[in-house]
Amino acid sequence: MARKRNYLNNKDLLAEIIKSKELDELTPTALKMLMMLADRSSNRLPYKNPDDKQDCIAWAYMDLYKYWRNFNPERSTNAFAYFTEISKRGFAKGWNALHPKKYKGTISINGSADGDGLYSF
């Protein structure tokens, strides 16, 4: 039985990132690979609203593009794991920007709704 080929191969991704680092810009193939990685990673997360999913994917794209130069092939050869983690953190940043956490039982430092402030007497 033939083994199913993965959608993205670590060896190919690593080669494209090394090439991109030499050129000091992402190659079109590397960019396509990183976008594919973010798109596929988004399928593992549940979203009630499709717009939220698209916004989180955009955050992941932005982080992948922003931090791709930080990958050090001399330190690690697992580019797939590195960029998957960058993508996941991008999704989290996007989600937290869309849905800020509300902590039960806390008081805003800005003060109450009437503008008296937290330390007003």
| Number of separate domains in the chain | 1
Summarised one tens digit per residue, pLDDT across range 8-38 is: 889 999 999 999 999 999 999 999 999 999 9
9 within a domain of the structure (yes/no): no
In a domain? residue 104 = no
Q: Is 2 part of any domain?
A: no
Residues spanned by the domain of 89: 31-98
Q: Is residue 8 part of a domain?
A: no
| pLDDT at residue 6 in the model | 65
- Per-residue pLDDT, averaged over 67-71, amounts to 94
Q: What is the pTM of this model?
A: 0.75
Q: Whose CA is closest to 83, among 40, 19, 49, 25?
A: 40
CB hemisphere CA count around 26 (13 angstroms): 18
Q: Is residue 112 part of a domain?
A: no
Q: Does the residue 59 lie in any domain? A: yes
